[in-house]
Amino acid sequence: MAKLYDRDINRRLIERILESRRFIQVLYGPRQVGKTTAIKQVLKEIDLPSHYASAHQPTLRNEVWLEEQWEIGRLKAKENKAAVLVFDEIQKVSDWSEVVKRLWDEDTFNNLPLRVILLGSSQLLIQKGLTESLAGGFELIRAGHWSFSEYQDYFGWDLDTYIFYGGYPGAAPLIREPERWVRYIQDSLIETTISRDILLMTRVDKPALLRRLFYLGCEYSGQVLSYQKMLGQLQEAGSTTTLAHYLELLSGAGFVTGLGKFSGQAVRRRGSSPKLQVFKDFNHFGFVIYIEKNPVVPYHFQSSPSGQSAPTCRWHQ
């Protein structure tokens, strides 16, 4: 069995846990980047009792379940003078932020040294809960996609391979089979994130339109495209206001955003056509579209028939 990779976020988590109890630590980031693996590595390494609870199970997770798990953590803290309580996929618990706020404040009042770490893969739902109830009482630790140095250390990849295939370590063994890699990215990552994160966050009357808008944003990343032209490309009868709202949702999820025209006048900025831009960590989603249109893809970069690179190989800071 391959040795697990020790990421930088592991060190940061350990430092925060060993500090005096001040804030709730929130570890969030995209799916399948190693958040659960990192926290389990940390719990094994630190010399503190801990309790790990996951809301990912199919059974109902509600306020009662949350309080039961918290009581287990309290018992360990009382017996050992300190303990760590971890909740994975916390956004799946209904009204989780209000319950966590109340229990955290109770422990603070009683001087109970229980450290609490929350994990979540839905950035939109996590941030909504934090801003509503836990403002000023938490610190964020972002678990992003794997960096080039991490891929180089663990997989021995060069830069071209990382730019084309990098981001998700789970997909790394599949790069020798491009079609299988594409299916994994689409089915296990893109569709899962859109279905469970964005569509759970807010009402979306046309989920198919939102999905097609995401793929359009990947294909036209770096280009200015009016909302009317987007509707034409998507072959969808609808309102440009709806399209702008869906683009905001995709931006909030960290997928693709629309950059307004730079101007000193707010009216001109808001009235301009957006420049579609895939976020840096999601550049490789655009390659899925490129591979679908160009089935025979080599191990490294390949120019398109027009002589240009794959359409979304653009870095956005």
Task: Give the residue with greater pLDDT, 182 vs 21.
Answer: 21
Does residue 162 carry a pLDDT above 80?
yes
Sheet holding 114-120, edge to edge: 50-54, 83-88, 114-120, 24-28, 138-142
CA distance 248 to 242: 10
Does residue 44 carry a pLDDT above 90?
yes
Domains of the chain: 8-142 (3.40.50.300), 177-293 (1.10.10)
pLDDT in tens, 214-239: 888 888 888 888 888 888 888 766 68
pLDDT in tens, 3-17: 788 888 999 999 999
**Torsion angle, CA of 39/32/171/11, rounded to 10 degrees?**
-30
Task: Give the residue with greater pLDDT, 51 vs 5.
Answer: 51
Do 280 and 254 form a contact (C-beta atoms < 8 A)? no
Do 259 and 274 form a contact (C-beta atoms < 8 A)? yes
Tell me what pLDDT residue 219 has. 83
Average pLDDT over residues 128-142: 78
Cα angle at 180 between 177 and 183, to 5 degrees?
150
CA distance 301 to 164: 7
- Looking at the DSSP bridge assignments, the partners of residue 276 are 258
Global pTM reads 0.77
Assigned token pair, 293: 């249109």
Average pLDDT over residues 281-308: 48
- Compute the mean pLDDT over every residue in the chain, rounded to the nearest whole number: 80
Does residue 302 carry a pLDDT above 60?
no
Do 91 and 122 form a contact (C-beta atoms < 8 A)? yes
